[in-house]
């Protein structure tokens, strides 16, 4: 009985040794053959044969303003205001930047009619004069011509010249803001009862 027991132990030891030996062989690292330094390896070709054009280039991000539909809808309710120097009807550089924004909105809604209103500061008594009416007309015309020159249809535009009749502000410190032209979508401007 003892002999059979010893025999089984010996058999298990031999089998276990073979398993351990085979396991060690399987986990040994495979050393690659030495690479011949004189043989150049073939370049790996990229599966992409042509790079696609970017949707928005870095130059576009610097020079163009991109608005979402939601932003354009909000801006359609805005009153765009262009300020002028006292007694002047020429557009200034600040106005040109504002025009870029306005053009984005007008281009997005090409069927919508717009209103352009010219105003002149009449501080302190805001009395209406022929001179003020003429100057407000020149200002509103300057804005209208700017838009028409950039592709806005003349038929979309209605122009009003108010002179000094409708001051935006009456405070002595800020009354220079009455020298202005306002532009808005006729059917969508909601910040006042200015639709005619």
- The candidate with the shortest Cα–Cα distance to 97, out of 129, 130, 53, 63, is 63
**Full set of structural domains in the chain with CATH:** 58-185 (3.30.1330.60)
Neighbouring C-alpha atoms within 13 Å toward the C-beta of 193:
0
CB 127 within 8 A of CB 164: yes
pTM: 0.63
For the stretch 35-91, pLDDT in tens is 444 444 333 333 333 434 444 444 444 445 577 888 888 888 889 999 999 999 999
How far apart (Å, rounded) are the C-alpha atoms in residues 22 and 25?
5
How far apart (Å, rounded) are the C-alpha atoms in residues 39 and 21?
38
- The three-state secondary structure class of 109 is coil
Token representation of residue 19 = 């398993």
For the stretch 136-182, pLDDT in tens is 999 999 999 999 999 999 999 999 999 999 998 888 888 889 999 99
Strands 180-185 and 157-161: unpaired
Sheet bearing 157-161, strands edge to edge? 80-83, 180-185, 114-118, 157-161
């Amino acid at each position: 009985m003892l002999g059979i027991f010893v025999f089984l132990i010996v058999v298990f030891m031999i089998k276990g040794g073979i398993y351990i030996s085979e396991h060690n062989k399987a986990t040994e690292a495979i050393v690659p053959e030495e690479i011949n330094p004189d043989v150049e390896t073939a370049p790996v070709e990229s599966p992409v044969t042509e790079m696609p054009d970017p949707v928005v280039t870095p130059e576009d991000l610097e020079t163009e303003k991109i608005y979402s539909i939601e932003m354009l809808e909000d801006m359609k309710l805005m009153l765009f205001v262009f300020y002028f120097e006292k007694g002047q009807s020429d557009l200034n550089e600040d106005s040109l930047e504002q025009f870029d924004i306005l053009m984005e909105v007008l281009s997005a809604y090409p069927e919508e009619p717009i209103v352009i209103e010219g105003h002149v500061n009449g501080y302190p008594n805001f009395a209406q004069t022929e001179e003020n009416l003429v100057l407000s007309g020149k200002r509103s015309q300057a804005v209208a011509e700017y838009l028409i020159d950039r592709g806005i249809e003349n038929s979309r535009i209605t122009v009003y010249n108010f002179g000094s009749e409708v001051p935006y502000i009456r405070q002595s410190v800020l009354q220079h803001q009455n020298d202005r032209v306002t532009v808005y979508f006729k059917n969508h401007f909601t910040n006042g009862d200015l639709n005619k």
